[in-house]
Amino acid sequence: MNYKADFHNHSCLSPCAGIEMGPITLVNRAKSLGIKILGLTDHNSARNTPAFEYLAKESGILPLCGVEVTTSEEIHVLCFFPTSGEALDFGNLIEKALPRIPLNHEKMGEQWVVNKDEEILEEVDFYLGTATSYGIDQVEKLCHDLGGLFIPAHIDRPTSSLKSQLGYIPQLNYDGFEIQLSPEGLNTGITPLVKGSDAHHPDMVGQRTCEIDLPQLSWEALVAYFQSFSRV
Amino acid sequence: MKLSQLEKELELRPLQVYKDEEWESAYTSDLLSDVMGNAPGDSVLVTIQGHKNTVAVATLAGIKAIVLANGAPATADMLQAAALENIAIFSSPKDQFHLSCKIGKILNLP
């Protein structure tokens, strides 16, 4: 069966997203658009994945608990995990690899951690929007060691992408690539392409989606889907 | 030193009207996280990153001017953001190395 998927969304934890982008808003908006596979990928942190995971499951949506990691080369990479547990473990490692640049609300934005009722639990007080000290190869290893899916983000974008930062695709174990600008017809033939909204505001959720054919709606079926492609 | 003196000595082309502020040091990098973490305040940034994210980082770091090396183009939204933030944008056909050497001489770096 074909399921509508949106792999790439931010919540109020990302400095570039507002407080209105809570997990309830994200999940409700996705539900109303018929999205059944939904990614939460905040910048360099997974602290909002527990609330997101609970709410998505309640709405019959497969939650993709993820992180959008900024590698030392300033390449954005989406890493997804079976549950918020692994996502939080991964997020902790990623946060530790960030420089401690104090968060400046006026210039950088806000970074709220919330629960499933969208009550504020804490704010991350160092800036999440900058680069970690991990190179892309190290991020791939950390992600796969925790059973994750490793998908470089918006590879066709002129900034913060494999294309803009390296200009070539290094030999790594990619599970897929996220494309943003390319037409639907683009096909690598070997590595699956996915789409995501990169939503920072509620209106942006669902602006870019793709269809994924799975025997049932589960993490295991999704992993099997990615593994059914031969790799680069 | 004023930015207008920098413009003259490096034969830079201003991409729009700018506020002639004082500057006292410089930084050269194309990795914006490196600029954010290490560029000094009241400085001039030499880079090929001609987009609005460069202006955002320059604002955080207290950078007064961005010199786009190698003739790198500036996007329209970069110029718009720079005008709002009072950051001068210059262009030069010379590369980062040559521009940095010249700035080093102006600053009498050892």
How many residues make up chain B in this entry?
110
Q: Report CB contact under 8 Å: B32, A99.
A: no
How far is it, in rounded angstroms, from Cα B73 to Cα B75?
7
Over the stretch A115-157, which tens digit does the pLDDT of each residue have? 999 999 999 999 999 999 999 999 999 999 999 999 999 998 9
Residue to test with chain B: of A43, A76, A127, A130, most B Cβ within 10 A = A130
Q: Which residues of B touch A131 (CB under 8 A)?
A: 31, 33
Does an H or E element contain A111, and which?
A: none
Over the stretch B5-14, which tens digit does the pLDDT of each residue have? 999 999 999 9
With the C-alpha atoms ordered B44, B50, B52, B53, is the resulting torsion angle positive or negative?
negative
pLDDT score, position A2: 95
Q: Is the pLDDT of residue B21 over 80?
A: yes
Q: Which residues of B touch A158 (CB under 8 A)?
A: 51
Tell me the sheet residues that pair with B70.
Answer: none
Q: What is the pLDDT confidence band of residue A158, given thresholds at 50, 70 and 90?
A: confident
Q: Name, in order, each residue with C-beta under 8 angstroms of A52's C-beta and a sequence gap of 6 or more.
A: A11, A23, A26, A27, A40, A63, A65, A84
pTM: 0.88
pLDDT score, position A189: 67
Grouping H, G, I as helix, E, B as strand and the rest as coil, residue B40 is coil
pLDDT score, position A124: 98
- For chain B, positions 34-53, list CB contacts with chain A under 8 A: 36-37, 51, 53
Encoding tokens for residue A149?
Answer: 């899916």
Grouping H, G, I as helix, E, B as strand and the rest as coil, residue B26 is strand
Whether complex ipTM tops 0.85: no
Over the stretch B41-90, which tens digit does the pLDDT of each residue have? 999 999 999 989 899 999 999 999 999 999 999 999 999 999 999 999 99
Encoding tokens for residue B19?
Answer: 């506020």
**What value does the mean pLDDT of chain A take?**
94
Q: Report CB contact under 8 Å: A74, B59.
A: no
Mean of pLDDT values over B83-107: 98
| Domain at A2-227: CATH code | 3.20.20.140
pLDDT score, position B53: 87
The CA-atom distances, in angstroms, between A221 and each of A182, A209, A214, A225, B66 are: 26, 19, 6, 6, 49
Q: What is the pLDDT confidence band of residue A213, given thresholds at 50, 70 and 90?
A: very high
Tell me the sheet residues that pair with A201.
Answer: none
User: Hey, what long-range contacts does B53-59 have (CB within 8 A, 24 or more apart)?
Assistant: B53/A159, B54/B78, B55/B81, B55/B82, B55/B85, B55/B87, B56/B81, B57/B32, B58/B85, B58/B87, B59/A107, B59/B85, B59/B87
Q: Is the pLDDT of residue A214 over 60?
A: yes
Q: What is the pLDDT confidence band of residue A187, given thresholds at 50, 70 and 90?
A: low
